Amino acid sequence: MTIQPQNLKYCESHEWVAPPADNSGIATVGISAFAVAQLNDIVFMALPTVGQSVSAGQEFGEVESVKAVSPMYSPVSGEVVEVHSELVDHLDRLNADPYEQGWIIKVKMSDPSELNRLLDYAAYEKMCAEQG
């Protein structure tokens, strides 16, 4: 599966979610290139465990840069079915590619309609341009 920023949905708090490309109901979650650039110098990431449940808008982990720690909020509700645990030891992948290589968790969605409440690429880009 290729993850293209244009095809993702976004939270205002800069997490992205790739809607399932098949009928698995499994969405992939990460943080945007804008977030990575803003955080700068990421040194640590705290991730959930497989089997943990997450809710839309609730914290599922944290990302820490030299200067500050920022919570990551889940764009959707459901159960964590996969965690990109090697990412913690290769945080530079986030700088190189926060989409394909920098995905963070996969969530089996309990309510796919939550995707409709998120920003599309154009709306998210506009929001970032205003913040940038």
Partner 1 sequence: MLVRVGYATPTLEIWPIRDPHLQSNDLNMTEASRKTPLHSWHVNHGARMASFAGYDMPIQYQGIVAEHTATRTAAGVFDISHMGRLRFDGSRADQLLDHLLTRRVVDMQPGQVRYALVCNEEGGILDDVLVSCLESPSSKIYFLLVVNASNRETIVRWLQPHLADFPDVEFHDVTDATAMIAVQGPKAISVCSRLLPASALQLGYYRARVTDQMSKPCIVSRTGYTGEDGLELIVRAEDAERVWENIMLSGREQGISPVGLGARDTLRLEAGMPLYGHELSEHIDPYTAGLSFACNLKDRSFIGCEVLQEKSKGSLPARRVGLLVEGRRAAREDSHCFDHENRPIGTVTSGTFSPTLQRPIAMAYVNSEMAQVGQSLEVDIRGTRANATIVDLPFYRRPQ
Residues that bind partner 1 (CB under 8 A): 40-41, 43-44, 46, 62, 64-67, 69
For the CB of residue 94, give the shortest distance to partner 1 in the complex, in Å: 13
| SS3 (DSSP) at 19 | coil
- First CA to last CA across the chain, in angstroms? 30
Compare residues 43 and 96 and give the one whose CB is closer to partner 1: 43
Tokens of 99: 């989409």
For the CB of residue 111, give the shortest distance to partner 1 in the complex, in Å: 28
For the CB of residue 15, give the shortest distance to partner 1 in the complex, in Å: 19
d(CA 35, CA 48): 19
d(CA 110, CA 29): 15
Compare residues 4 and 40 and give the one whose CB is closer to partner 1: 40
For the CB of residue 89, give the shortest distance to partner 1 in the complex, in Å: 10
Compare residues 41 and 120 and give the one whose CB is closer to partner 1: 41
Compare residues 46 and 115 and give the one whose CB is closer to partner 1: 46
Query: Please, are residues 69 and 96 in contact by the beta-carbon 8 Å criterion?
Result: no
